[in-house]
Structure 1
Amino acid sequence: MDPRSRQKKGRSCSSPGSAGSRSMPPHGTGRLKSVKPGSLRSRQWKRFLKGPDPSLLEEFYVPALAQAIRYDRCCAYFSSSALAAAARGFGRLIERLEAYGEKAPRPAVRLVVNEELPEEDVRAMMERRDFSKLEALLLGRFKKPRELLEKQRLAMLGWLVKRGWLQVRVGLMRKGAGIVHAKFGVIRDEAGDAMVFNGSGNESAQGLVANYERIEISTSWEDPERYREYAGEFEALWSDHHPDVHTVRLPEALRLKLIKFAPEEPPVVEPSNALARQKAAMIWKYIVEAPYLPHGETACDATALVELWPHQGKVVEETAKAWPEGRLLCDEVGMGKTIEAILVLRRLMAGRGVRRVLVLLPAFLLKQWQAELREKGAILAPRLEGQSTLLWPDGRSKKVKDLPEALKEDLLLMSRETARTGANAASILAAEPWDLVILDESHAARRRKQEEGEFNTGTLLLELLRKLQLKGKTRGFCS
């Protein structure tokens, strides 16, 4: 006999926390023979998933809810966007529930959202059963959806509410301070098998288009203890028996507001955010092309991650316009010379044809400059550690066989101590010419002696810069 068939006989379905219960959920009423039973066991599920919304839809939400008959979810703050985030993958679930019709469980979907109220308001609300303050707060949070994707997902929720398949409860800390921050879900199929997932998510309106989320998944047949823990936690929240959290039914005004989003026909097609992605692509296309338009250089400043002071704006404009003539940035300490250089670099790389850039820095400033480029200029540039390792600020690394190979990078940060030595300087001079060389702490590039009227021998660093210019190996300097 198949071991799983013996397990079927021995399992109990009396408790919502019993792992792997093989019967219809307690509030279900049976199964239509014309509907093919869904089974969560029909697919191998990855333990960990991460990524933006589209990939999680394809790998988890849509295939899991396509097999589901019940879905419990503990969400974030109550808002239209948080509800829309909870509705990911609902198209196939609605299709299955519609096939069952009146025999589908009610509610099939239970959502717990959270809100924050002072302890005295929570106590008064529970004692007097006066939910007016909570209702006003929730109505204020329920904004008209601005994005099409959010509106389409709210239509799914509205349909489920209208059909009696969705109920929402609002969680409030019993002592007032804090919020119900747990984000997890339990998905069950008709046989009683279940999946549990928990993790972080961005449940904002923008997050619906390009959010990053990381979740951990387990199943009741492989990890029954974890399933019982989360299923029991949700039941305690839903039944208002949790020691730390009160839950109350969603006020009627909010329920009716959700129903208004319900379409005339069942929304069984999973909405796509393709339109939103196309819109974002159009905006980025404009940003890329903007520097080439009249006065387009200002787009580089406007899209930077830092706001320039007035004097910085003038320096950036003058220095960028002067290229390929070089400039010395000689402001006092603390006046933002590094930011000026980064914004000049953004302008030149975006609209002035600058491709090859070498940034020479004191060794102790390499990491700081790399971080500033990323945080202020949204520029990911590798730094050279030693002569054989390239490190990017996002954690990537690359081994190179020698310095000439490293110098093939179009944008490179390296220490001036490494650059100025004989063999390394020769490699820099032999590399493909640089459009721009940026030198920080440029006082290190100076004459060895200060004798008037004499072309004095310079430091190794000054000699390197002289040769780069005299041999036509760079088109411009900024220091």
Structure 2
Amino acid sequence: MGSEGKEPQLGLRQVTWKRFLRGPDAQLLDELYLPALSRAVRYDRCCAYFNSQVLAVAARGFGGFIENLLALGEGAARPAARLLVNEQLDREDLDALLATGDQALLIDHLLKQFKTPKAALEHNRLEMLAWLVASGWLEVRVGLMRRSQGVLHAKFGLVTDAHGDCVAFSGSDNETGQALTENYEELQLGTSWQDGEFVSYYRQRFESLWADEDENVAVLPLPEAVRQELIKLAPPVPPCELLRDKDSLVTAMLWHYLAAAAYLPNGEQACDATALVDLWPHQRRVVEDVAGAFPAGRLLCDEVGLGKTVEAILVLRRLLAGRGARRALLLVPAGLLKQWQDELREKGGLVVPRWEDGNLAWPDGRHESMLAAQALRQENLLLLSREWARLPDNRNLVLAAPA
């Protein structure tokens, strides 16, 4: 952490920038985001949807950027970073929002998309982004198409150093819901000292969008309720960039293999081996038989204490790993819903919500008010009370749910 008023020593001109870049996340990190943002004092970015993975993509290289802002102290611009995310609402909802200013539907839409990060790399990048938001150095706004149900597909960024030099980039970055390590981009770069027209175009484009001056795109501040949800991820101290040294890369490679092994042909043993419990010999035979017989049914009739619950969980793991099942509804006694939820997580590594009393409850304690019909539609794995499901009206809801 430097002293206040100290400017970053390195400028963007000290790097030889390629005109075109193509590659996965790690390669783009080394060739663009780390060298650019380690020299930056301002960063403007137009990216895709508001969700945890897209935001994590936008936060690549923020470690060096944070160090620069801390070195500048009060001399750093606020906001030093501006992030414009693009969203899509139904025509009626968008008209109501633009006419009345009521952001309730937009807030609900954004919060539903913002999930708790699962991967360490994604969590680290979101911590950096959230810390910048909480510190007032990053502002997020939301772009909505005014006259159509499409989205603004422009994805570009501008990095500016302490000397006023700028690197702009634009391209077909693949900001989807996939893992960050699988993200692949093709980018075109231009610098203010070699291609002023390229940089000027994207500078004017961003400023026009940010100021809500584009005739096709309405730009709104990120609703405060959503901003506060993002800030919850901010650590108490400035976070550091999680970099990928050799040991980290080997660990990541092994982890990704383990995650994929259960889905490979003849990966049944890997599926069992990566569960959080060791099978007894008789359980292994039961799991083999029941999973192999699917979609034909089997009744588990072991005596009490011989592990029928574990058998059922391990069968479910095999079927969900590309062996015939995409969705599963688990009907258990009402008094055992929480116990089954815990067993699924502790022994099978399966995170399964339970629905009861109008709420969807997750193993980590989160609750969401939700109708049973909605839970049955949207959750691929769900725990329900068998007593509730037996009631005639409820039985119809269960049968009407997607298979």
**Alpha-carbon contact 1:109-1:166 (below 8 Å) kept:** yes
Please show how residues 334-373 of structure 1 align to structure 2 within 5 Å: none
Residues 110/32 of structure 1: CA separation in 2 closer, same or farther (3 Å cut): same
**Alpha-carbon contact 1:90-1:270 (below 8 Å) kept:** no
> What residue in structure 1 maps to residue 103 of structure 2?
131
**Alpha-carbon contact 1:125-1:131 (below 8 Å) kept:** yes
Amino acid at match of 2:140: V
> What residue in structure 2 maps to residue 284 of structure 1?
257
Q: Give the distance between the partners of 1:67 and 1:297, measured in 2 at CA.
A: 45
> What residue in structure 2 maps to residue 187 of structure 1?
159
> What residue in structure 2 maps to residue 351 of structure 1?
none
Runs (5+) with no aligned partner, structure 1: 1-30, 300-312, 315-479
Give the match's secondary structure for 2:70.
Answer: helix
Residues 32/290 of structure 1: CA separation in 2 closer, same or farther (3 Å cut): closer
> What residue in structure 2 maps to residue 339 of structure 1?
none
Please show how residues 70-469 of structure 1 align to structure 2 within 5 Å: 70-272=42-244, 278-282=251-255, 284=257
Give the match's secondary structure for 1:154.
Answer: helix
Residues 94/294 of structure 1: CA separation in 2 closer, same or farther (3 Å cut): closer
**Aligned-residue offset at 1:237:** 0.6
**Aligned-residue offset at 1:34:** 3.1
Give the match's secondary structure for 1:178.
Answer: coil
CA deviation vs aligned residue, 1:38-90 (integer Å, no higher than 9, x gap): 41111110111111111111111000001111000000111111111100000
**Aligned-residue offset at 1:33:** 5.1
Residues 277/167 of structure 1: CA separation in 2 closer, same or farther (3 Å cut): farther
**2:32 maps to 1:60:** yes
Residues 121/222 of structure 1: CA separation in 2 closer, same or farther (3 Å cut): same
Residues 182/80 of structure 1: CA separation in 2 closer, same or farther (3 Å cut): same
Give the match's secondary structure for 1:195.
Answer: strand
**Aligned-residue offset at 1:278:** 2.6
> What residue in structure 2 maps to residue 320 of structure 1?
none
> What residue in structure 2 maps to residue 444 of structure 1?
none
Residues 124/266 of structure 1: CA separation in 2 closer, same or farther (3 Å cut): same
Q: Give the distance between the partners of 2:268 and 2:137, measured in 1 at CA.
A: 56
Amino acid at match of 2:7: V
**Aligned-residue offset at 1:126:** 2.1
Q: Give the distance between the partners of 2:264 and 2:231, measured in 1 at CA.
A: 47
Give the match's secondary structure for 1:217.
Answer: strand
TM-score (norm 1): 0.52
> What residue in structure 2 maps to residue 387 of structure 1?
none
Q: Give the distance between the partners of 1:85 and 1:244, measured in 2 at CA.
A: 26
Larger radius of gyration: 1
| Root-mean-square deviation (Å) | 3.0
Q: Give the distance between the partners of 1:87 and 1:33, measured in 2 at CA.
A: 24
* Alignment coverage as a number of residue pairs: 271
